[in-house]
């Protein structure tokens, strides 16, 4: 059970349905999901009807909902494939969101006990993060741990955690070349730790298993960097990596935290890395530009909300990346459109954004 | 990836010294014998030099007491702490090896969750011999460990990593808490085995504990000075912290990596929290100034060696921390003395004059176990 006092009604579980038949997926997660409200967003490209088992408190959104809400307000934002979940983030009104890919099931820890991923993510988000100094015993707010000798006392209250990045057993989230090189490689190592990613350090955020504080991170999680041949396997995307870098840079600027580590989910084997590599390898190349770009981003003192920060990043993307590849110019446009959309449709939970430059 | 095709055991036998500060006895070595016996030990005997420290049979070692420290360093001996485990850095100074592993005499062999005894030294060696990844955080931790790799989104151009300068191990049982935490939680024990090694990102500071530590002496040795602590000093239990902060900012400047995590040792002895509180008291306040200082340290590009960085750091300590307490002026001076001693004992070209120890160099009985 959660050691925090977060109510179940403060959480939405948002699932992007890339597969029509969600029966086995939802049944596997039933013990952990049944007490929460679910938002299921159907991939607009999916033709078949969704199959959803009974007994859940949920809301389903499809292409027609997306078209109705978003309408013609953006040509740059594309909700197809993995990006369909962002529509769920837009329409949610809860404080915390948990998202997991529909090819994952609950994992077991190294004692063989079932991992309550939702509970762990909520705990991560509801306890402080410690980005300004590394604690060698990892999360000091975890039971049985604490700050170590030498950790400055003034930094021990920590900051709000905006994003909680979980991990994966079995099929880890490697890129296609890495998985193709070691096709039999599976992750069996259960690392029993949550830690805060230090301020100033960037990392690749995988969308497979994440949770976030909607007010703080929501405006920065959106369909942005879309590859030309983007597909329905994570190997054929980098959109989540782009968002994660936005979130981290913004958190570092605003003084929020990002945690990584527990919880694990079990990621089912799916697809073929070599086939994906043949189809879409642009993402790997683009990272060479994307990472140095985000490492060089400096936001102004005037940017005091996530939305403000996003707009400054848009300007920087236009200035420094757009010329390198059209995919970046589209990303910048998508970001700008997203912020408009977020303010118009998404700000229901009271993001309290100060007037921006627009 | 970085595993040799045929395992080489014991790894780095002739390239690594084990430095152990002690004031009591070295009985703990019995438990470590299977892992340590092939290696050369440097014992730094703190406290009363007339006391004889018994080293278990079969170990190859040098032993230095305070008289040796004074004899070898002369007036420069003032930089080596007395009545504090900070004296261990004397062992780093006189070693001639590329790698150092240092461990406290109340640290024993731990067991992993499967019940297997952990060869902490072998893990440190593995950590030091494989690259670090300080420029971008890998969410699956050390990608060079067997069973791990870089995650999607990790740029290929950063996958070569950086040379690892420091390997920081952890402790099961008695955790390394400060005195206030010990007083509040006297019964807390660390029972969580976190099966990870990870690189501490560039630009991030951490509290480096000296009780289970490995490092590449050639890469970072001159920065591993454990400061002025103990007898005659206003502060204690910040020796390793100080070394860690200095070493980390220098590693960041020189693009060297620092790893933390495995291996675990079993820390058996909880020191007296009231005694600790007295030692740490000033440190707890001074830390609040020290940390922002280190967070803002910048080295001019002319500083291209560790020694140059360290001297520059000593100047900045004097300039920016001198106002906090006169102790920092003394500390800055001793940092310079340390570098002078380092240069003298570790001249760049020819072999240094052998530092004559007190202890008999005992060869291990032949044939050595393979």
Has residue A12 been placed in a domain?
no
Has residue A42 been placed in a domain?
no
Length of chain A: 358
Substitution target in B85, B151, B153 with the highest count of A β-carbons within 10 Å is: B153
Strand partners, B230: B82
Please give the torsion angle defined by the CA atoms of residues A239, A243, A245 and A249, in that order, rounded to the nearest 10 degrees: 160
Q: Which residues of B touch A191 (CB under 8 A)?
A: 141, 194-196
Q: Which two tokens stand for residue B242?
A: 């100080």
Substitution target in B139, B198, B262, B270 with the highest count of A β-carbons within 10 Å is: B139
pLDDT tens track for B210-229: 999 999 999 999 999 999 99
Q: Do B241 and A190 touch (CB under 8 A)?
A: no
Contacts of B355 (CB under 8 A, 6+ apart): B64, B68, B72, B94, B345
CA A235 to each of CA A84, A101, A281: distance values in angstroms, whole numbers, following the listed order: 17, 13, 8
Q: Do B154 and A175 touch (CB under 8 A)?
A: yes
- Using the Cβ of B194 and the Cβ atoms of chain A, whether some distance falls under 8 Å is answered with yes
Helices then strands, counting H and E runs in chain B, come out as 10, 9
CA atoms of A168 and A266, how far apart (whole Å): 6
Q: Using alpha carbons, select from A189, A165, A357 the residue that is nearest to residue A245.
A: A165
Kindly state the average pLDDT of the residues B327-352. Answer: 89
Residue B6, pLDDT above cutoff 70: no
B contact residues 130-189, partner A, Cβ 8 Å cutoff: 136-141, 147-158, 168, 170, 175-178, 181, 185, 188
What's the mean per-residue pLDDT of chain A?
Answer: 93
Has residue A47 been placed in a domain?
no
Q: B330: exposed, middle or buried (C-beta count within 10 Å: 0-12, 13-18, 19+)?
A: middle
Give helix A326-341 / helix A282-296 axis angle, nearest 10°: 60
Has residue A308 been placed in a domain?
yes
pLDDT tens track for B72-115: 999 999 999 999 999 999 999 999 999 999 999 999 999 999 99
Give the residue carrying structure tokens 């999916």: A46
Has residue A29 been placed in a domain?
no
A255: left (phi > 0), else alpha (psi -120 to 50), else beta?
Answer: left
Has residue A11 been placed in a domain?
no
Q: Using alpha carbons, select from A34, A186, A22 the residue that is nearest to residue A104.
A: A22
Q: Do B209 and A148 touch (CB under 8 A)?
A: yes
pLDDT band at B365 (very low <50, low <70, confident <90, very high): very low
pLDDT over 70, % of chain B: 92
Domain assignment of residue A249, given as a range: 93-346
Q: Which residues of A touch B260 (CB under 8 A)?
A: 134, 136
Q: What is the pTM of this model?
A: 0.93
b/e code B151-166 from CB counts within 10 Å (16+ = b): bbbbbeebbebbbbbb
How many domains does chain A divide into? 1
CA atoms of A69 and A42, how far apart (whole Å): 15
Using DSSP, state whether B168 is helix, strand or coil.
strand
Has residue A352 been placed in a domain?
no
Q: Using alpha carbons, select from A281, A311, A322, A316 the residue that is nearest to residue A295.
A: A316
Q: Do B203 and A174 touch (CB under 8 A)?
A: no
Has residue A298 been placed in a domain?
yes
* Predicted-complex ipTM score: 0.94
From the centroid of its chain, how far is CA B99? 11
CA atoms of A321 and A291, how far apart (whole Å): 11
CA A167 to each of CA A199, A266, B70: distance values in angstroms, whole numbers, following the listed order: 20, 9, 54
């Amino acid at each position: 059970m959660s050691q925090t006092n977060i109510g179940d009604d403060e959480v939405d579980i948002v699932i992007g349905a890339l597969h029509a038949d969600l029966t086995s997926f939802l049944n596997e997660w039933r013990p952990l999901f049944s007490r929460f409200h679910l938002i299921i967003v159907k991939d607009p490209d999916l033709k078949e009807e969704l199959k959803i088992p009974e007994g859940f408190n949920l809301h389903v959104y499809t292409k027609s909902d997306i078209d109705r809400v978003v309408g013609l307000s953006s040509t740059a934002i594309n909700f197809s494939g993995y990006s369909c979940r962002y529509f769920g983030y837009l329409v949610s009104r809860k404080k915390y969101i948990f998202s997991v890919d529909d090819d994952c099931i609950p994992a077991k820890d190294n004692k063989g006990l079932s991992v309550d991923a939702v509970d762990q993510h909520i705990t991560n988000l509801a306890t402080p993060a410690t980005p300004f100094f590394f604690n060698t015993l990892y999360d000091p707010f975890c039971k049985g741990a604490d700050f170590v000798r030498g950790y400055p006392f003034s930094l021990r209250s920590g900051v709000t955690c905006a994003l909680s990045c979980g991990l994966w057993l079995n099929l880890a989230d490697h890129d296609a070349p890495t998985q193709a090189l070691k096709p039999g490689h599976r992750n069996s190592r259960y690392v029993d730790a949550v830690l805060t990613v230090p301020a100033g350090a960037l990392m690749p955020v995988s969308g497979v298993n994440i949770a976030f504080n909607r007010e703080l991170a929501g405006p920065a999680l959106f369909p942005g960097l879309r590859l030309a041949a983007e597909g329905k396997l994570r190997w054929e995307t980098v959109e989540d990596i782009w968002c994660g870098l936005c979130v981290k840079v913004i958190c570092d600027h605003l003084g929020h935290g990002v945690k990584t580590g527990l919880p694990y989910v079990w990621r089912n084997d799916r697809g073929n890395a070599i086939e994906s590599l043949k189809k879409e390898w642009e993402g790997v190349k683009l990272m060479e530009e994307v990472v140095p770009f985000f490492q060089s981003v400096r936001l102004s003192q005037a940017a005091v909300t996530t939305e403000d920060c996003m707009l400054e990043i848009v300007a920087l993307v236009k200035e420094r990346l757009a010329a390198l590849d059209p995919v970046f110019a589209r990303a910048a446009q998508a970001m700008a459109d997203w912020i408009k959309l977020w303010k118009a449709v998404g700000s229901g939970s009271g993001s309290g954004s100060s007037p921006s430059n627009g | 990836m970085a595993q040799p095709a045929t395992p080489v055991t014991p790894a780095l036998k002739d390239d690594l010294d084990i430095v152990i500060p002690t004031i009591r006895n070295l009985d703990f070595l019995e438990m470590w014998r299977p892992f340590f016996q092939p290696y050369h030990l440097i014992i730094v005997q703190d406290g009363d030099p007339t006391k004889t420290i018994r080293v278990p049979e079969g170990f190859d070692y040098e032993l230095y007491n305070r008289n040796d420290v004074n004899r070898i360093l002369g007036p420069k001996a003032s930089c080596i702490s007395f009545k504090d485990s900070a004296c261990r850095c004397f062992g780093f100074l006189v070693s001639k090896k590329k790698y150092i592993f240092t461990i406290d005499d109340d640290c024993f062999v731990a067991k992993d969750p499967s019940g297997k005894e952990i060869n902490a030294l072998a893990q440190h060696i593995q950590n030091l011999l494989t690259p670090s990844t300080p420029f971008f955080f890998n969410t699956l931790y050390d990608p060079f460990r067997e069973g791990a790799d870089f995650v999607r989104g990790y740029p290929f151009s950063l996958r070569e990593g950086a040379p690892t300068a420091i390997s920081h191990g952890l402790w099961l049982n008695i955790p390394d808490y400060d005195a206030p935490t010990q007083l509040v939680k006297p019964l807390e024990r660390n029972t969580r085995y976190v099966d990870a090694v990870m690189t501490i990102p560039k630009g991030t500071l951490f509290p480096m504990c000296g009780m289970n530590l490995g490092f590449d002496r050639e890469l970072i040795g001159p920065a591993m000075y454990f400061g002025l602590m103990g007898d005659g000093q206003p502060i204690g239990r910040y020796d390793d912290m100080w070394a860690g902060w200095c070493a980390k900012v220098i590693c960041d400047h020189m693009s060297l990596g620092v790893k933390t995590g495995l291996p675990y040792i079993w820390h058996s002895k909880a020191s007296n929290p009231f005694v600790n509180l007295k030692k740490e008291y000033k440190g707890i306040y001074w830390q609040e100034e020290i940390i922002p200082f280190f967070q803002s340290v910048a080295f001019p590009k002319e500083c291209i060696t560790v020694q140059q960085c360290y001297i520059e750091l000593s100047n900045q300590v004097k300039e920016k921390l001198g106002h906090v307490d006169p102790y920092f002026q003394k500390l800055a001076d001793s940092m310079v003395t340390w570098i002078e001693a380092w240069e003298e004992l570790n001249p760049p070209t020819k072999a240094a004059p052998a530092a004559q120890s007190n202890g008999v160099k005992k060869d291990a009985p032949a044939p050595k176990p393979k």
